Each structure stands twice: as structure tokens, then as C-alpha cells.
């Protein structure tokens, strides 16, 4: 704190002490304020040089969503780069504000504030500000676009016709069906069986085909860094390549009604070989059920029975009362039980 | 209308007592339109609408299968609003005009009854708006307390999931409705004519109408609770919207009603600012707060109609079974998302820009310096207003829209941070070598800058698509927009209230209580919302009533701080009631030593603002400049003829140099108090 309140107005000693005993003037009569600049910039450089590596190397590796898939790792890296870019900006504002609050508070013997045209605008500073923020924004845009395109859409839902795909041509499609209020998964490459447990192989590019039977849900695999809205009547594709074994959480991330908060389940990443055997075993185990499911399709439309009955593949007249595609009216005996008993 | 012979004509401006009319007090005040009649009209309209709706749709299968007939609910709300508006007297003037009769002029009144009536005094409307906004804010705040109570524990519940969703949705919707008028309504209406040297608003009846329909919107959205609430949040995504119970109609009708008020208020303020500036009030001298209101009015007028259309389609879907938003029947759930956010993102800047304006307006007063880079500030707010129409799809980054759009909207969203950042260029530049007085409004300014920096920077994170994949729809988003709206707008609003309430009420607010209010507000605001960034990053979606056990500590910190934050608002209420009503201390005319034109009027401000139209000589920010001219010459000779004056000062701004040199007062009318 400067000691101007005591009334001592000693000449400033070389501009190093935070003396505010009066505007220093250069030989041509202009108010000299370069020492303020140097103090603020110096402090800012030091603080940024400390804060950025501290964050990047200490906190950075632990930033969600972790590194369980390539897109999760990309999101983590991207978040860290944004923090590294944001910290100096925030520090600049805070240090400047702190400096102003400490040094330029009103006091009886303090210096008079500057006025007039000098205080009203400063074209070099304004230009620098605009150029700098524009350059920063354009850099972030380029970086974000690269990070979006390069890993195949960064795990976001790309709608029915994705334009950024994984490098690998060997993509495993898994259908994700959202409905109030649960997730189910169908594996078209394994006979289209349906399960409530999401199991994926590691080091395999996976295409999540997300759709909904009723309202808009959002398929959020937190650890895999995948998020795609489940829209009724739309096939929304998101890509991810798991690279670590483990379990993960699937949550609904779009408000979908009463039990939205309880709409989650779990899944796991298995080794590819283990996944193969799991899928084949499950296909056999569920074969009895699978044949009564609607034929696999990219989207489904609930039939006239709505929540009471089944659903059928799209492109079927929704007003048809004849074809029920395996769905039954409430109270009717299941056609399946008859056939299986014979 | 002839402009030169005003004395022989009828009332030339509201409030003037002319001989032809003016049987004052012939009818009791209670028989004239007032809020009692509005309530009667609203209740009558409600039951009439229920009756008509039941008559039309009572036997439709959809009404019989569900518990409630949506047609009758929508009719009840619409007729209720109509009855409210008719009861308050907003329709009297246009109906009489259409019938070819001349309505009686509105008399100036100093009775407290004027606050419960349709009035043409922008200062009364401003105070009405202030109370209305605070009622909105505190109702929504109580709901926020309920949300934080439920989130104290991850698994044991205070509310059922249905009640919780209804509370969340009601909180979000009410706060959005409130925030869109939080500054434009009270401070915009109260201050703009005084700041630009006008005696009146361009459309005083439309201004009063905008307030009363704003309150009608409050009543409509409150009916959602007895109707069972609605489960969609404030975004109301279809088709969840279509299947929701009748509380949803309150959302759709209520937002449309509020929207009508927003458009009306926007038109009036824009017309006033453009046409009613005092002579000499050139665009380069207009106070920066007025610039921010002007930019906001552009958004109010251009963005809000989209919301009304979207709500109308939603009402049709829910009542007469159209399928605009129902994919199975040929509609699209994306239609709502696009229409809603096409309104919804400009709405965000409707809420942010007036906050910028307040902070930039107060900053020079408390730093005793001119506003730095005034032109950049004005241009920046216009730029934000323009760009805000081109960013809405960043809300749909994960929704399965055409992925081509993603880099484009990432670019526009990040570009908008450039003009938004001008706020910091201007305020930080104003702080340079200043003489900062840490009065309460200045504290709120600095607090707003601190909060808005965090809110703005996290906005850039959300605009980055790969990061957005993780944080979209999580508590991170929720913390972000609370930092911008509550940390930005509401901080600015309270700073503005502490700054201008001495002018508006003529009373000094207790500064010690005000400082306690600021510090508790600032500390507990940050303790409430900063942990929610972490909670969102750690994987907690918005609007859930159950969450992972490991997030309980952070949620509890947030909840306890939220309760203390709520208590901090009580300090403000206590201070306001105590200082204005119980133990009033008369405020000095210019307590902050400001150069602003609004402080050059008498306190309380007379009915017609200025005795004479001031002639503006300089902008209001020339502090610490020896030899700077005063901001205005209040006694300058009036401009033009008396008739031109009869429309306030519609002659438009002129340069002082081009003023005709006419000595003597050409405006013979006495000020009406």
C-alpha cells in the first residue's frame, strides 16, 4: 500500500516504488505512465508462466472425461489447451483490476485522475486489443475445427449422414435406443439382439446409431466422451474408439420427463476377443427373444398402442390397425408364447 | 395536426389540463380502470374461456382421455389476459378512437393510487416495473431455494421427481421472463427519457401496456403450478412439450404474453431514443446506457416474434392436434429447437447488454474519468446485437443437425466474444489512472466484471465443439449462464438500483446495509455457482434429482451458499423498505456528483421531467477535464415553435452551433408537478 495518506509527498525514487504522490512528468510535459505498464505486464508474465504449466502438468491429466477413448482424450486435451489460453486472459484482467484498485483508489492526497482526450480513447491500445482478441478467437476456431474433424466428429452426434468418420474402415455399429426412461442397445452385426447392457470392444471404431422412440433424449457416455441427441425418427451417428478397459456410465442428458434423473445405466469396454465371445454368446442366449423384436431398422415408430405395445420399423403407416408387427393389444395372449410352446 | 396554434387545441401533451375536458374527480378513483378491475377482468375472462373451451372441445376424444381439456385451458388463459388488459384500461383509448370519440386526457396524479393504474408517466411505469421485476425475481428465487434443498442429498428426496421437475421448469421460465425485462423495464423506462432530455416517451400508452401485460405473464406462468407444472424446463423441447400436462399451456401462453410486452417495450424505447433526443444530444453524446438499451430494443423487436410463433405452433399441436413438432406425423422436433433458440440466443443478449450499459454508465462517475473508448463500446453493443442472430445453433451442437454447420457456428459464437470483450476494454481503460471511489454501485460494477469474466470465458469453452461434447447439457452450462445472467445482469441491476434509487425514490438507502448486501451477495454467489462448474465437468447433467454420491460435497457447498445468497437478498428488501418507507432520509439532488443529464432535474422529478427542454452541450463523461462545458444548459431558449414542443421535443437533435439564437422563453406553460 502506498503511504500517500500520511501526507508525505517525496519525489518518487526512480519509479520502482509504487509511489502515487503525483503524476510523473517527462521532459515534454506528458504524464509518464510507462512504469505502471511495466509493473502490470511483468506481474502478469510471471503469474501466467507459473499458472499455465502448473495447470497443464498437475491438473491437466486428471481433467474429465479422461482418456478411455480417443475422443475423450481429444476433449481432455482441448479443454486443457483452452484453459492454457484462458488463464493468461483472466489473469490479465484480474491483475490489472487489482493493480487499479490498490493504486488508483481515491484519497485526499492522491493524484488527480487523467482527463481529456488522452483518457477518452487511445487508438494504439484499442487496435492492439481488437487485433489480439481477434487473433486469439481465430486461433481457437482453427484449433477447435481441427480437433473436431480429425478424430471423426469428436464424439458428437452427426445426424444420419456423418461427414467426419474414423480413419479405420472396420467400424462396429451399435444401435442406441432411448425411450422414457431407459436405454437399450441393439447389435445389428450379431443378429440384431437387444440388451440393456452396453458392451463395446477396445481399439475398435464404434458407430453409435442413436435414436429415440418417444421424446428427445441425449445419449451421454461420460467416460467415452460421446454425446448425441436421441431424436424420434432420426438416426444420429457418433463415433468413438475405446482405448482402455473398464466400466462407464451412460446418462440421459436431455430433459425427457418425470424420471429423467433416473435414466442411466452402465456399460463396459472389453478386449476385442472377449467382446466377440460375449456377443456371440448373448446372440445365442437371446435368440428366442430377438425373433419377436421388430426387424432391425435405423429408426422405429411406436405403434398405435404407444407405451402399451411394441414398436415397428419406420416407413409403416402409423395409422394401420391391422399390422402390429408382433405387438399386442393389452390383455391379448402373446403370439410368441404359443409358438415357442409348440 | 397544426403545430403552431396549440393553445386553441385539445390537450397537447398528457397531463395538461385543458378547459374543454377535465372534470377532475367527478368519478371516484376506484371506478376508473385500475388493478382491481384488472383482477375482476382476469377472473371473469378465465371462467369465460373455460366455458367456451369446454363448449368447443369438451367432447373431443383427446379431452376425454386426459384429465384436462387443453383447449379450455388455453382459452381461459387468453381470455384471462384479455380481461386483465381491458380491466386495467389499456384498451379504452384505442376503442374510443375507433368509435370516433376523443378520450379524456390522463391527469397527473401524485396519489399512491397511480401505481395501481394505467399511467402515461414513464417514471411511474418504471417503478411499477421495478416492483414487478422484484416480485418475479423473488418468486423464482424461492423456487431456486427449493431446487438446492432437493440437491442437498444425492438419494434421499424432499420432493418427488415430478414436483422437482415442475419446480426446475418454473424457476427457469420465470427467471428468463424476469431477466428479459429486468433492466429494460425499471431502469430503461425510468431513465431513458431523462438521459436523452425528453419530456415523455414516444408511446406512453404502449409503455404502460407493456408493464401490465408483463404482470399478466407473471400470473399466467404462476397458473402452471396449480395446473400441475410442466416437465420440460425452460427450453420446452418438443415432443415432450406435446405430451405434457396442461401446465405446459401456461408456459406457451405465458411466454407469448411476456413476448408481446417485450416487443411493445422495445418499440417504444427504440422510437423514443431515435426521435426524442434533446437538441444537441447527438449520437456521439448519447449516454452509453441508452446505447445499450437501443441495441437491446433491436433484439426485443426482432427476436421475440419468433418465440410467439413457436409457442403458437406448440399450442396448436397440443390443442387441435396439428403435428408441427411431432416427427411421426410429418413434423419435426428440430423445428421447435431451431425456432426456440433463434429467439433464445438473442434473448441471452437481451439480458446481458443492459448490464453492460449500467456498468459502463456508472464507471466514469466513480472513477472521475471519461468513459474510455466510447465509440468502441457503442459499436461493440451493436455488433453483439447483430451477431447474436447468427449463433443459435451452438445450442444444437450435439443434437444431430447437419454437422457442416458446426464449424460455422463455432466461428460465429467465438466471434461474438470480440465485441463482448469490449466491455473489458472500456471498463479497464476507464480504470487507468483513475480516482476510484468505492461506493456501493462501484463495488457492484467491479463484482460484475469479475463474474462476467468467468461467465464469458466459460462461454468460449462451450462454443468449442469437442469440449462441448463433454459439458453440453451439464451443470457446467448451468453455472456458465448463471455467471453471465446473475453475475452479470443481476449484479449490474442491483448496482444500478443503489445508484439511481436516490433519484427514483428521493430517499437515501442505508450504505452500511448496502455494503453488507454486496459482500454477502458476491461471496455467496461465487460459492454457489463456482462448484457447479466442477460438478458439471464431473458428469452431472442438468435438471436431475439424483446424482452420483461423490458429487455430494460440492453440491452441498453450493446449496448452503445458495441459502445464504437468498438471505442476502433479504438484506436488500429490508434496506429498501426501511430506508424508503420506515425511516426515510431525503436524498441530495446529486449524491454521486454525477454529470449525467438525469441528475440535473429536480428531485422528485416533476411530472414532465424538464421544465424546459435542455440543450445538450457535451457528453456526460467529461470528468477531470478542466474547462469542460456542462452537460446541458437547462435554461437555454427552447427550440422551434411552441407547437413543435407540444410533442415533447420531436424536432430532433441538432448541433448546438446550429441553434437559432432566440432569447426569451418560448414555452409559456408552467411545469406541472
Angstrom CA distances, A227 to A204, A223, B409, stand at: 18, 11, 18
On whether both A178 and A140 belong to a single domain, the answer is: no
Closest residue in B to A88 (Cα) is B457
Shared domain for A217 and A284, answered yes or no, is yes
Residue with cell 437515501: B508
| Residue B252 located in a structural domain | yes
Q: Choosing among A23, A148, A230, which should be mutated to test the B contact, i.e. which has the most B CBs within 10 A?
A: A148
pLDDT-based confidence at residue B633 (cuts at 50, 70, 90): confident
Q: Which residues pair with A232 in a beta bridge?
A: A212
Helices (H), B14-69: 35-57, 61-65
Q: What is the mean pLDDT of chain B?
A: 87
- Which of B57, B78, B106 terminates a domain? The answer is B106
pLDDT grade for B169, boundaries at 50, 70 and 90: very high
| Chain A residues touching residue B436 (CB < 8 angstroms) | 100-101, 104-106
Residue B652 clears pLDDT 70, i.e. is over it: no
Same domain, B102 and B129: no
Q: State the pLDDT at residue B68.
A: 78
CA distance B553 to chain A (A): 18
Residue range B476-500: mean pLDDT, rounded:
95
A176 and A207 co-located in one domain: yes
The three cell numbers locating residue A53: 504449466
- Could you give the 3-state DSSP secondary structure of residue B475? helix
- Would A317 be classed as within a structural domain? no
- Chain A neighbors of B237, CB-CB under 8 A: 215-216, 254-255
Peptide bond into B564 cis (omega under 30): no
**pLDDT tens-digit readout, B424-479:** 999 999 999 899 999 999 999 999 999 999 999 999 999 999 999 999 999 999 99
Same domain, B58 and B194: no
Q: What residues of B are in contact with residue A82 (Cβ under 8 Å)?
A: 460-461, 464, 467
Specify whether B409 is located in the same domain as B449: yes
Residues A178, A98 share a domain: no
Q: Identify the pLDDT of residue B108.
A: 74
Say how many C-beta atoms besides its own lie within 10 A of residue A38's C-beta: 12
- Give A-chain residues touching B460 at CB under 8 angstroms: 82, 86, 140
For residues B80 and B196, membership in a common domain is answered with: no
B624 falls within a domain:
no
pLDDT higher than 60, residue B78? yes
Tell whether A322 is covered by a domain. no
- Domain-embedded: residue A74: yes
What's the pLDDT tens digit per position in B585-596? 999 888 999 999
| Residue A193 β-bridge partners | A187
**B12 lies in a domain?**
no
Residue A4 has pLDDT above 70, yes or no: no
Does the beta carbon of B274 lie under 8 angstroms from any beta carbon of chain A?
no
B310-324 pLDDT, tens digit per residue, is: 999 999 998 988 889
B399/A157 CB distance under 8 A: yes
Predicted pLDDT of residue B371? 93
Q: Please give the residue that has the higher pLDDT: either A117 or B494.
A: B494
Residues 358-417 of B with CB under 8 A from A: 367-376, 397-404, 406-407, 410-411, 414-415, 417
| B538/A64 CB distance under 8 A | yes
Instruction: Note the pLDDT of residue B426.
Output: 95
Q: Helices in A54-69 by DSSP H: which ranges?
A: none
Residue B225 near residue B247, CB atoms below 8 Å: yes
pLDDT of B3 strictly over 70: no
Highest mean pLDDT among A299-308, A312-321, B319-328: B319-328
Distance from C-alpha of A64 to C-alpha of B537, rounded to nearest angstrom: 6
Say if residue B58 is in the same domain as residue B137: no
Is residue B539 helix, strand or coil? coil
- Count CA within 13 A, CB hemisphere, residue B487: 26
Q: Which residue of B has its CA nearest to A301?
A: B328
Q: Residue B141's pLDDT band (boundaries 50, 70, 90)?
A: very high
C-alpha A216/C-alpha A148 separation (Å) is 24
CB contact under 8 A, A86 and B449: no
Distance CA B511, CA B68 (A): 52
The string over B594-617, giving b where at least 16 C-beta atoms fall within 10 Å of a residue's C-beta and e elsewhere, is bbbbbbbbebebbbbbbbbbbbbb
**pLDDT value of position A308:** 40
In-domain check, residue B601: no
A133 touching B (Cβ < 8 Å):
yes
Task: Provide the pLDDT for residue A5.
Answer: 39
Q: Which of residues 225-264 of A touch B (CB under 8 A)?
A: 225-229, 231-234, 236, 249, 251-262
Total number of domains in chain B: 2
State yes or no: ipTM above 0.85: yes
Domain check: are B289 and B208 in the same one? yes
User: Residue B634 domain-assigned?
Assistant: no
Q: Does B239 touch chain A (CB under 8 A)?
A: yes
Q: Residues with Cβ < 8 Å from B88, sequence gap 6 or more? A: B33, B34, B35, B37, B38, B41, B117, B118, B212
Return the residue of A nearest to B370 by Cα.
Answer: A120
The residues, any chain, with a CB within 8 Å of residue B436's CB and separated by 6 or more, are A100, A101, A104, A105, A106, B366, B367, B442
Q: Are residues A80 and A189 in the same domain?
A: no
How much helix, strand and coil, in percent to the nearest 5, is found in chain B? Answer: 65, 0, 35
Q: Are residues A39 and A139 in the same domain?
A: yes
Give the separation between CA A108 and CA B11, rounded to whole angstroms.
54
Q: Which of B239, B376, B542 is facing A215, going by the closest CB pair?
A: B239
Judge if B457 and B346 occupy the same domain.
Answer: yes
What range does the domain containing B217 cover?
Answer: 125-582
Nearest to A101 among B401, B436, B622 (CB): B436
Together in a domain, B67 and B209: no
State residue B102's pLDDT score: 84
What residue numbers bound the domain in which A54 lies?
34-103+122-151
Q: How far is CA B586 from CA B175, B405, B570, B579, B581, in A?
A: 33, 58, 23, 10, 11
- Closest-CA residue of chain B to A70: B466
Identify the pLDDT of residue B29: 65
φ, ψ dihedrals at B103, nearest 5°? -70, 150
Let me know whether B410 and B550 are in one domain.
Answer: yes
Average pLDDT, integer, range A56-66: 92
Say whether both B377 and B306 belong to one domain. yes
pLDDT bracket for residue B513 (50, 70, 90)? very high
Q: What is the pLDDT of residue A1?
A: 37
Mean residue pLDDT across chain A: 81
In a domain, B656, yes or no: no
For residue B673, the model assigns a pLDDT of: 37
Q: Domain for residue A175, yes or no?
A: yes
> Is pLDDT at B579 greater than 90 in this prediction?
yes
> Is A84 in the B-facing interface, judged by CB distances under 8 Å?
no
Q: Are residues A176 and A285 in the same domain?
A: yes
Show which of B582, B613, B646 is a domain's final residue.
B582
Residue A326 has pLDDT above 60, yes or no: no
CATH number at residue A256: 2.60.40.420
- A253 closest CB neighbour out of B465, B473, B621: B473
| Interface check A298 vs B, CB under 8 A | no
Residue A326 lies in a domain: no
Query: What's the whole-number mean pLDDT along residues B501-519?
Result: 93
- The pLDDT value given to residue A217: 94
- Whether B335 and chain A come into contact, CB under 8 Å, resolves to no
Assess if residue B504 is contained within a domain: yes
Band of residue A307 on the pLDDT scale cut at 50, 70, 90? very low
Neighbouring residues of B94: CB distance < 8 A, sequence distance ≥ 6: none
Burial A116-150 (b: 16+ CB within 10 A, else e): eeebbbbeeebeebbeebeebbeebbebbbebbbe
List chain B residues with CB under 8 Å of A298: none
Percentage of chain B beyond pLDDT 70 is: 89
To test the contact with chain B by mutation, choose from A112, A231, A265 the residue with the greatest count of B C-beta atoms within 10 A, namely A231
Q: Tell me whether residue A277 is in a domain.
A: yes
- What value does the mean pLDDT take over residues A296-317? 58
Residue A311 banded pLDDT, cuts 50, 70, 90: low
pLDDT of residue B30: 67
CATH number for the domain spanning B563: value is 1.20.210.10
CB contact under 8 A, B400 and A158: yes
Q: Among B470, B593, B624, which would you mutate to test the A interface (most chain A Cβ atoms within 10 Å of its Cβ)?
A: B470
CB contact under 8 A, A75 and B453: no
How far apart are the C-alpha atoms of B271 and B207, rounded to whole Å?
A: 11
List the single residue in B with minimal CA-CA distance to A85: B457
Nearest to A230 by CA among B24, B15, B454, B237: B237
Residue B558 lies in a domain: yes
Average pLDDT of B172-199?
A: 93
What is the per-residue pLDDT for A315?
Answer: 44
Interface contact B434, partner A, CB < 8 A: yes
Q: The sheet that has A226-230: what strands, in order across it?
A: A198-201, A264-270, A246-252, A217-221, A226-230
pLDDT of the residue at B77: 95
Residue A111 φ/ψ region, left for φ over 0, alpha for ψ in the -120 to 50 degree band, beta for the rest: beta
Split into its structural domains, chain A has a count of 2
The answer to whether the beta carbons of residues A219 and A226 sit under 8 Å apart is yes
Please check whether residues B278 and B359 belong to one and the same domain. yes
Q: What angle do CA B285, B375, B202 make, to 5 degrees?
A: 45
Establish if A321 belongs to a structural domain.
no
Contact B164 A121 (CB under 8 A): no
Size of interface A-B (CB pairs under 8 A): 287
Q: Nearest C-alpha of chain A: how many angstroms from B66?
A: 15
Residue % of chain A over a pLDDT of 70: 79
Asked whether residue B641 carries a pLDDT value surpassing 50, the answer given is no
What are residue A105's phi and psi, to 5 degrees? -80, 150
DSSP for B503-530? HHHSBPPPHHHHHHHHHHHHHHHHHHHH
pLDDT digits (tens, 9 = 90+) for A205-241: 999 999 998 899 999 999 999 999 999 988 899 999 9
Shortest CA gap B393–chain A (Å):
13
Within 8 A of A86 by CB-CB distance, chain B residues are 457, 460-461
Interface residue A152 vs chain B (CB under 8 A):
no
Nearest to B514 by CA among B564, B563, B560, B569: B569
Contacts of A137 in chain B (CB under 8 A): 414-415, 417-418
Q: Is the pLDDT assigned to residue B670 strictly greater than 50?
A: no
B207/chain A closest Cα distance in angstroms: 35
**Residue B71 burial by Cβ neighbours in a 10 Å radius (0-12, 13-18, 19+):** buried
Residues 6+ apart with CB under 8 A from B456: B417, B420, B421, B484
Interface mutation vs chain A, best among B433, B453, B544, most A CBs within 10 Å: B433
The residue-averaged pLDDT of B113-134 equals 91
Let me know whether B406 and B541 are in one domain: yes
**Count of H helices and E strands in chain A?**
7, 12
Q: What pLDDT is attached to residue A111?
A: 77
Measured CA to CA, the distance from residue B547 to residue B535 in angstroms comes to: 10
Q: How far is B311 from chain A (nearest CA, A)?
A: 18
Q: What is the pLDDT of residue B578?
A: 94
Most confident of B66-80, B493-507, B608-622: B493-507
Of B538, B558, B582, which residue constitutes the final position of a domain? B582
The answer to whether the beta carbons of residues B558 and B148 sit under 8 Å apart is yes
Amino acid at each position: 500500500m502506498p503511504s500517500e495518506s500520511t501526507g508525505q509527498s517525496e519525489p518518487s525514487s526512480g519509479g520502482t516504488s509504487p509511489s502515487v504522490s503525483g503524476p510523473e512528468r517527462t521532459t515534454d510535459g506528458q504524464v509518464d505512465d510507462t512504469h505502471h505498464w511495466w509493473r502490470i505486464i511483468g506481474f502478469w508474465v510471471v503469474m501466467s508462466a507459473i499458472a499455465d504449466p502448473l495447470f497443464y502438468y498437475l491438473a491437466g491429466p486428471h481433467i474429465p472425461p479422461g482418456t478411455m477413448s480417443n475422443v475423450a482424450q481429444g476433449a481432455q486435451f482441448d479443454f486443457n489447451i483452452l484453459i492454457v489460453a484462458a488463464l493468461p486472459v483472466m489473469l490479465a484482467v484480474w491483475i490489472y483490476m487489482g493493480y487499479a484498485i490498490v493504486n488508483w483508489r481515491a484519497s485526499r492526497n492522491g493524484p488527480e485522475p487523467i482527463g481529456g482526450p488522452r483518457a477518452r480513447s487511445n487508438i494504439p491500445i484499442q487496435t492492439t486489443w481488437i487485433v489480439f482478441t481477434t487473433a486469439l478467437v481465430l486461433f481457437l476456431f482453427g484449433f477447435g475445427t481441427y480437433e473436431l474433424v480429425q478424430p471423426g466428429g469428436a464424439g458428437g452426434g452427426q445426424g444420419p449422414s456423418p461427414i467426419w468418420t474414423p480413419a479405420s474402415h472396420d467400424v462396429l455399429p451399435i444401435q442406441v435406443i432411448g425411450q422414457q426412461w431407459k436405454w437399450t442397445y441393439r447389435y445389428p452385426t450379431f443378429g440384431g439382439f437387444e440388451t440393456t447392457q452396453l458392451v463395446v470392444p477396445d481399439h475398435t471404431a464404434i458407430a453409435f446409431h442413436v435414436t429415440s422412440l418417444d421424446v428427445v433424449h441425449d445419449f451421454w457416455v461420460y467416460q467415452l466422451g460421446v454425446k448425441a441427441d436421441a431424436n424420434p425418427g432420426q438416426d444420429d451417428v457418433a463415433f468413438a474408439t475405446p482405448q482402455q478397459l473398464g466400466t462407464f456410465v451412460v446418462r440421459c442428458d436431455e430433459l425427457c420427463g418425470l424420471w429423467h434423473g433416473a435414466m442411466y445405466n452402465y456399460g463396459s469396454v472389453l478386449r476385442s476377443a472377449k467382446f466377440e465371445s460375449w456377443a456371440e454368446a448373448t446372440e445365442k442366449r437371446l435368440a428366442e427373444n430377438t425373433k419377436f423384436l421388430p426387424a432391425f431398422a435405423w429408426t422405429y415408430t411406436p405403434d398405435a398402442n404407444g407405451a402399451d405395445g411394441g414398436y415397428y420399423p419406420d416407413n409403416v403407416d402409423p395409422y394401420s390397425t391391422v399390422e402390429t408387427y408382433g405387438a399386442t393389444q393389452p390383455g391379448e395372449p402373446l403370439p410368441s408364447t404359443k409358438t415357442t410352446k409348440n | 395536426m397544426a403545430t403552431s396554434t396549440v393553445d386553441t387545441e385539445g390537450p397537447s401533451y398528457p397531463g395538461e389540463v385543458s378547459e374543454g375536458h377535465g372534470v377532475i374527480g367527478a368519478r371516484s378513483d376506484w371506478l376508473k380502470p385500475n388493478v382491481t378491475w384488472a383482477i375482476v377482468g382476469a377472473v371473469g375472462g378465465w371462467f369465460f374461456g373455460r366455458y367456451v373451451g369446454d363448449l368447443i372441445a369438451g367432447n373431443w376424444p383427446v379431452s376425454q382421455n386426459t384429465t384436462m381439456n387443453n383447449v379450455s385451458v388455453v382459452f381461459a388463459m387468453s381470455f384471462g389476459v384479455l380481461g386483465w388488459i381491458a380491466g386495467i384500461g389499456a384498451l379504452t383509448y384505442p376503442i374510443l378512437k375507433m368509435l370516433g370519440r376523443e378520450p379524456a386526457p390522463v391527469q397527473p396524479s401524485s396519489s399512491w393510487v397511480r401505481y395501481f393504474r394505467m399511467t402515461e408517466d414513464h417514471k411511474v411505469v418504471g417503478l411499477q416495473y421495478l416492483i414487478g421485476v422484484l416480485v418475479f425475481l423473488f418468486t423464482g428465487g424461492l423456487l431456486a431455494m427449493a431446487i438446492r434443498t432437493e440437491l442437498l442429498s444425492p438419494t434421499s428426496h424432499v420432493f418427488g421427481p415430478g414436483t422437482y421437475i415442475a419446480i426446475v421448469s418454473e424457476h427457469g421460465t420465470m427467471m428468463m421472463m424476469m431477466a428479459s425485462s429486468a433492466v429494460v423495464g425499471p431502469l430503461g423506462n425510468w431513465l431513458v427519457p431523462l438521459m436523452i432530455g425528453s419530456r415523455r416517451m414516444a408511446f406512453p400508452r404502449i409503455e404502460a401496456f407493456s408493464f401490465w401485460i408483463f404482470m399478466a405473464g407473471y400470473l399466467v406462468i404462476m397458473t402452471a403450478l396449480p395446473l400441475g407444472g410442466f416437465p420440460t424446463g425452460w427450453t420446452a423441447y418438443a415432443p415432450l412439450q406435446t405430451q405434457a400436462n396442461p401446465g405446459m399451456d401456461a408456459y406457451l401462453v405465458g411466454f407469448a404474453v411476456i413476448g408481446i410486452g417485450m416487443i411493445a417495450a422495445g418499440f417504444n424505447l427504440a422510437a423514443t431514443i431515435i426521435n426524442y433526443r434533446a437538441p444537441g444530444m447527438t449520437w456521439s453524446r448519447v449516454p452509453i446506457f441508452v446505447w445499450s438499451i437501443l441495441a437491446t430494443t433491436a433484439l426485443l423487436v426482432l427476436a421475440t416474434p419468433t418465440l410467439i410463433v413457436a409457442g403458437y405452433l406448440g399450442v396448436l399441436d397440443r390443442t387441435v392436434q396439428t403435428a408441427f413438432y411431432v416427427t411421426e406425423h410429418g413434423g419435426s422436433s428440430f423445428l421447435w429447437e431451431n425456432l426456440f433458440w433463434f429467439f433464445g440466443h438473442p434473448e441471452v443478449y437481451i439480458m446481458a447488454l443492459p448490464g453492460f450499459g449500467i456498468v459502463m454508465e456508472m464507471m466514469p462517475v466513480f472513477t472521475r474519468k471519461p468513459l474510455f473508448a466510447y465509440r468502441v463500446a457503442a459499436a461493440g453493443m451493436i455488433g453483439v446485437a447483430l451477431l447474436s442472430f447468427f449463433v443459435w445453433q451452438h445450442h444444437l451442437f450435439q443434437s444431430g443437425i447437419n454437422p457442416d454447420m458446426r464449424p460455422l457456428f463455432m466461428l460465429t459464437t467465438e466471434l461474438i466474444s470480440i465485441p463482448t470483450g469490449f466491455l473489458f476494454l472500456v471498463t479497464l481503460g476507464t480504470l487507468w489512472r483513475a480516482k476510484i471511489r468505492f461506493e456501493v454501485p462501484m463495488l457492484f460494477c467491479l463484482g460484475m466484471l469479475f463474474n462476467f469474466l468467468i461467465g464469458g470465458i466459460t462461454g468460449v469453452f462451450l462454443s468449442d465443439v469437442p469440449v462441448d461434447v463433454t459439458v453440453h447439457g451439464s451443470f457446467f452450462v448451468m453455472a456458465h449462464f448463471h455467471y453471465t445472467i446473475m453475475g452479470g445482469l443481476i449484479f449490474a441491476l442491483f448496482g444500478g438500483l443503489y445508484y439511481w434509487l436516490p433519484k427514483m425514490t428521493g430517499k437515501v438507502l442505508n450504505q452500511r446495509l448496502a455494503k453488507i448486501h454486496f459482500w454477502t451477495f458476491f461471496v455467496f454467489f461465487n460459492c454457489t455457482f463456482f462448484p457447479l462448474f466442477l460438478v458439471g465437468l464431473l458428469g452431472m447433467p442438468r435438471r436431475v434429482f439424483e446424482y452420483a454420491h461423490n458429487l455430494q460435497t460440492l453440491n452441498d457447498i453450493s446449496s448452503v451458499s445458495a441459502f445464504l445468497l437468498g438471505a442476502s437478498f433479504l438484506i436488500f428488501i429490508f434496506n429498501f423498505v426501511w430506508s424508503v418507507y420506515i425511516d426515510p432520509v431525503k436524498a441530495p439532488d446529486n449524491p454521486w456528483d454525477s454529470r449525467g443529464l438525469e441528475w440535473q432535474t429536480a428531485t422528485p422529478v416533476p411530472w414532465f421531467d424538464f421544465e424546459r427542454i435542455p440543450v445538450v452541450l457535451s457528453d456526460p463523461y467529461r470528468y477531470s477535464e478542466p474547462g469542460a462545458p456542462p452537460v446541458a444548459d437547462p435554461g437555454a431558449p427552447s427550440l422551434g415553435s411552441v407547437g413543435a414542443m407540444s410533442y415533447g421535443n420531436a424536432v430532433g437533435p441538432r448541433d448546438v452551433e446550429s441553434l437559432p439564437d432566440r432569447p426569451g422563453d418560448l414555452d409559456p406553460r408552467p411545469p406541472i408537478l
